[in-house]
A and B are shown apart, each in its own frame.
Chain A
Amino acid sequence: MRVVRVAVTAGLLVAAAGAVGAMRAATRLDRLHVRTDAAWAALDAALCRRARAVRELEGSAALRCAADAALLAGADGLALRAGAAVREEIENELGRALAVLDRYGLKPSRAGRLADAQQRVVIARRVYNDAVRDTLALRSRRMVRWLRLAGTAAAPRYFEIAEPALPSYGLELDGAGA
C-alpha cells in the first residue's frame, strides 16, 4: 500500500513540475510572440517613414516608383506572414534605387531626413529579427513542439533585406551601394 502511495505522490509531483514548466514556457512564448508582433509594427513604421522620406525628394522616376510601391505595400499591410517575400523585394528595390542616388545634390535637410529614416530601418530590422530569433529558439524546444504550446500562432519569419552600407562611424553619407 505504502509503496503505491509513494509512487502516486512521486508521479503527481513530476506531473505538477512538468505542468509548471509547460506553463512557464507557454507564458514566455506568448510574450515573445507579442514582442515579435510589436517589433514588426515598429519595422513597418520605419519602412513607411523611409518611403515617405524618399517621396519627398525630387528624385528620378525609378526612385519615385520604388517609393510608391513601398508606400502601397505598407498601406496594404503586406505583413510578415502573407506576402513577406513580396514586401522584401519591394523594399530591396527601393534600397537599390537609393544606393545610386547622388546625395550631394540634395537639400541638406532632406538628405538628413533620408539618412535618419534609413538608419531607423536598420535599427528596426535588427530589433525585429532579434525578436524572431528568440521566438524561433523557444519554439524549436522539444517540450514546446510536443505539447504544441505555440498553438495556432504561425512561426515568425526573418525580414531579410540588403542593408545600405552606412558608415560604421559617424553620420556622414558616402552613398555607397547596398
Chain B
Amino acid sequence: MVCPYSLATPGGVQAHVLGLARGLRGLGHQVEVLAPATAEHALPEFVTSAGRAVGVPYNGSVAPLAFGPVAVNRARRWLRDHDFDVLHLHEPDSPSLSLIVLALADRPVVATFHFATARSWALAAAHGLLQPTMEKITARIAVSPLARRVQVECLGGDAVEIPNGVDVSHFARAHPLPGYPRAGGTVGFVGRFGEPRKGMPVLLAALRTVARSRPDLRLLVVGHGDATALRRAAGLALASRIRVLGAVSEAGKAAALASMDVLCVPAVGGESFGIVLSEAMAAGTPVVASDLDAFRLVLDGGHAGMLVPAGSPTALSAALDDLLGDPDRRAALAAAGRARAAMWDWPVVARRVLQVYETAVAADPRRYRAG
C-alpha cells in the first residue's frame, strides 16, 4: 500500500492508510506500506520510508509529498524486495509517490480516491500525459458518493464506494475528561470552528436561546481556530461558558467526545462524509447534525442521530433543548449510533477492500496472458 502524504504530519489519508493496513493485518494478511516520512518519526514496523517529504502547494493547500530521484529509487527497491499480489495506491492522480509506484507497477493496481474536489487545472493539463499511466489501474475505490461522482464526471472512470473506517474500539473505550460528564449538560463541537461552512455561528445563535433556561450548560470545542475570536463572536452571555481544547491528539479527541452529552455538527454544506459523526457514534455520544446528504447517510436518515434543517438556529435550539432534557432519548440514540458505527469498524471495511483486491487479482492481465 502506498500513502502519498508524509506520515510525519497528521491527516485523513494517512490515518486511513494506517487504519486499513492494521485492519488487513488483523485479518491475517501481509501488508507493507510505503510512505514519505522523516527519520526521527517513529514508524510502525510495516512501514517503509520513501524519504523526506517536501511541502508542495497543491489543490489550494500545502501537501507533504515526496517526488524525486530518492523516492523513485526507494519505490523501485521496495517493489523489488516484495512480491505483492496487489498494489493499493492512494490518490495516484496527484504528483506523488503513488504516481511513481503506478508508473513502475507491473501487477494489479487498486486505487483509492479520497477527495471530492474537482481536479485542478494543472491536473487537467497533465491528463493527456498521465493517461497511459492511469490506464494501469485495475480497480478504483471512492470513499464517499461525492468522491465517486468526481471519478465519474471528471476522471472518466467508475469506482466502488467503500467508506472511511473508524477505530471503533478506540472511541468506545475512551474515558471522559476529568470533571465530565457535568450535571449541567455539555454540548460539543469538533472541527475548524473559524470556518463559516462548519456552522459555528448557527450553533452560537441556538445556544443563546438554550442557555437562558440552562444556567450550567457548557460548550466544549475541539479543533483548530482562534479561541479569542470565537469568544468575541459568542458575546458576553456565552463567552464564559465556552471551553476550547484546541487541536488535540486522537486520544484527546476520543476523551472529549466521551465527555459530551450531545455532539452538534451544524455544518451548512460542503461535507463529503463527516468522519466525526461516525467517531461520536462509536463513542456512544448522541449526535445532532444538519440534514446534509452526507450526514443523512451516516445517521441512517435520522434513526441513529437527530437531523435538523441546515442553517436554522431555531430548529437547532429546539433539538438541543429536547435532547438535553431527555436522558432516555439520549441513551436510545447512543445505542443506535453504536450499532450503526460497527459497520465502519476497520475489520469490516478491510473485508470490503479485500473483495476489491480479490477482483483485481482475478482480473490480473499477467494471469490471463499466461493462459
A-B interface contact total, Cβ < 8 Å = 90
Given contacts A39-B363, A41-B368, contact A171 B343 (CB under 8 A): yes
Contact A116 B355 (CB under 8 A): yes
Task: Give A64 to B363 CA distance when docked, in angstroms.
Answer: 28
User: Is A31 touching B365 in the complex (CB atoms < 8 A)?
Assistant: yes
Is the pair A170, B343 in contact by a Cβ cutoff of 8 Å? yes
Q: How far is the CB of B234 from chain A (nearest CB, A)?
A: 35
Is A86's CB within 8 Å of the partner chain B?
no
A127 near B156: Cβ-Cβ < 8 Å: no
Task: Point out the residues of chain B lying under 8 angstroms from A131, CB to CB.
Answer: 363
A40-60 to B contact mask, C-beta < 8 Å, 1/0: 011101100000000000000
Specify the chain B residue showing the minimal Cβ separation from A28. Answer: B132
Whether A130 and B359, one on each chain, are in contact in the complex, defined by CB atoms closer than 8 angstroms, is no
Q: Is A169 an interface residue (CB 8 A)?
A: yes
Q: Are B365 and A38 in contact (CB under 8 A)?
A: yes
Complex Cα gap A28–B355 (Å) = 28
Q: List residues of chain A with CB within 8 A of the CB of B297.
A: 168-169
Q: Mark B113-128, 1 if CB is under 8 A from A, else 0.
A: 0000000000000000
- Are B140's CB and A42's CB within 8 A? no
Question: Does A161 lie at the interface of the complex (its beta carbon under 8 Å from any beta carbon of B)?
Answer: no
Say which one of B55-63, B76-84, B158-166, B250-258 lies at the interface with A.
Answer: B158-166
Of the residues B131, B138, B145, B344, contact of A127 by C-beta under 8 Å: B138
Q: Are A42 and B365 in contact (CB under 8 A)?
A: no
Q: Mark B131-166, 1 if CB is under 8 A from A, else 0.
A: 110010111100001000000000011111101000
Q: B138 — nearest CB in chain A belongs to which residue?
A: A127
Which residues 344-371 of B have a CB within 8 angstroms of A? 344, 348, 352, 355-356, 358-360, 362-365, 367-369
- Chain B residues in 8 Å Cβ range of A126: 139-140, 158-160
Q: Which residue of B lies closest to A24 (CB)?
A: B132
> Least Cβ distance of A102 to chain B in Å?
21
User: Which residue of B has the minimal Cβ distance to A134?
Assistant: B135
Whether A76 is near chain B, meaning CB under 8 Å from some CB there, is no
User: In the complex, which of the residues A31, A127, A131 has the most CB atoms of chain B within 10 Å of its own CB atom?
Assistant: A127
* A41 touching B135, Cβ below 8 Å: no
When distances are taken between beta carbons in the complex, the residues of chain A under 8 Å from B158 are 126, 129-130
Contacts of A137 in B (CB 8 A): 131, 156
Do A35 and B365 touch across chains, with their CB atoms under 8 A apart?
yes
Choose from B163, B356, B369 the contact partner of A34 (Cβ within 8 Å): B369
Closest CB of chain B to A33's CB: distance in Å? 9
Bound-complex Cα distance A108 to B290 (A): 36
A113 interfacial by beta-carbon distance below 8 Å: no
Which residues of A have CB within 8 Å of B358? 120
* Distance of A45 from chain B, by nearest CB (Å): 6
**Chain A residue at minimal CB-CB distance from B159:** A126
CA–CA, A45 to B140, complex, Å? 19
A123 interfacial by beta-carbon distance below 8 Å: yes
Report yes or no: A124 in contact with B359, Cβ–Cβ below 8 A.
yes
Q: Are A31 and B135 in contact (CB under 8 A)?
A: yes
Pick the residue among A128, A133, A171, A172 that contacts B157 (CB under 8 A).
A133
A170 CA / B344 CA spacing, docked (Å):
7
* Residue A97 is within 8 A (CB to CB) of chain B in the complex: no
Q: Once bound together, how far apart are the Cα atoms of A78 and B236, in whole Å?
A: 75
Would you mind naming 9 contact pairs between A and B with Cβ atoms under 8 Å apart? A38-B367, A41-B363, A45-B362, A126-B139, A127-B360, A130-B140, A138-B135, A168-B163, A170-B343
Extra inter-chain contacts (10) besides given A38-B363, A123-B139, A126-B158, CB under 8 Å: A31-B135, A35-B365, A38-B368, A39-B138, A46-B362, A119-B352, A120-B359, A127-B139, A169-B343, A171-B348
B residues neighboring A (CB under 8 Å): 131-132, 135, 137-140, 145, 156-161, 163, 297-298, 340, 343-344, 348, 352, 355-356, 358-360, 362-365, 367-369
Q: A-side interface residues toward B, CB under 8 Å?
A: 24, 28, 31-32, 34-35, 37-39, 41-43, 45-46, 116, 119-120, 122-124, 126-131, 133-134, 137-138, 168-172
